[in-house]
Amino acid sequence: MQQDQRKKSPTEMDFFSDYGDANRYKIQEVVGKGSYGVVCSAIDTHTGEKVAIKKIHDIFEHISDAARILREIKLLRLLRHPDIVEIKHIMLPPSRRDFKDIYVVFELMESDLHQVIKANDDLTREHYQFFLYQLLRALKYIHTANVFHRDLKPKNILANANCKLKICDFGLARVAFNDTPTTIFWTIMLLQDGIELPSYADHFSQRCVFFPGIS
């Protein structure tokens, strides 16, 4: 229990609100920033594991943003696959009144596919084939669950130095509960490719991601 009473560093003071679980994590460095908030790498002092903590500011300021965040969290809590990023923990606020920011703890990945391709001119055909294999395996899993990502791009595919890939950012994803007339029409139109909508959008994105590397 001594670790839970440790003094926070200046970086941690700036990053964390008064959330009870904050003492569990020792912030290392900022690894990403955006309009949504900030992502820091950290050490879980309970397990010694390296994690990524995503802080999302003022989540209830815009209803559409709140819905997107909730959708992503719900899907990632349900989807469990080696090629999909895993949520480790969600920090709870001290009270409803203080619930303004949200902290989501993910497994830590070193980079994303966009940076990997940009920084490595010597990637071989075998590299791209291994990347493609992992991505197709993940898509098969999520499409079998009737989930469709709809925002598949290199920046939403996390990567490690060992060429391990994991799909992230399910904020625009949708779950298909039934076949609407529109879906049935496009399914018939696309049967020649053996792909059904809305999974077609994900497969088209997958081809765009890897075409430069394998052509």
Give DSSP secondary structure letters for 116-177. Answer: HHHH-TT--HHHHHHHHHHHHHHHHHHHHTTEE-S---GGGEEE-TT--EEE---TT-EE--
Would you report the helix, strand and coil content of the chain in percent, each value rounded to 5? Answer: 40, 25, 35
What is the pLDDT confidence band of residue 4, given thresholds at 50, 70 and 90?
very low
Residue of higher predicted confidence among 35 and 190: 35
- Residue-wise pLDDT for 113-131, tens only, equals 999 988 888 889 899 889 9
Which domains are seen in the chain, by residue range? 2-107 (3.30.200.20), 111-214 (1.10.510.10)
Q: Which candidate, 188, 208, 206, 204, places its Cα nearest to that of 196?
A: 188
pLDDT of residue 212: 54
- Residue-wise pLDDT for 50-98, tens only, equals 999 999 988 888 898 899 999 999 999 999 999 999 999 998 887 888 8
pLDDT beyond 90 at 137: yes
Residues with a known catalytic role: 151
pLDDT beyond 60 at 208: yes
Q: To 10 degrees, the CA torsion angle through 120, 40, 71, 181?
A: -10
What is the pLDDT confidence band of residue 34, given thresholds at 50, 70 and 90?
confident
pLDDT of residue 133: 92
Mean pLDDT of the residues in the chain: 80
Binding site, by residue number, is 55
Measured between alpha carbons, how far is 9 from 18 in angstroms, rounded to an integer? 14
Binding site for ATP, by residue number, is 55
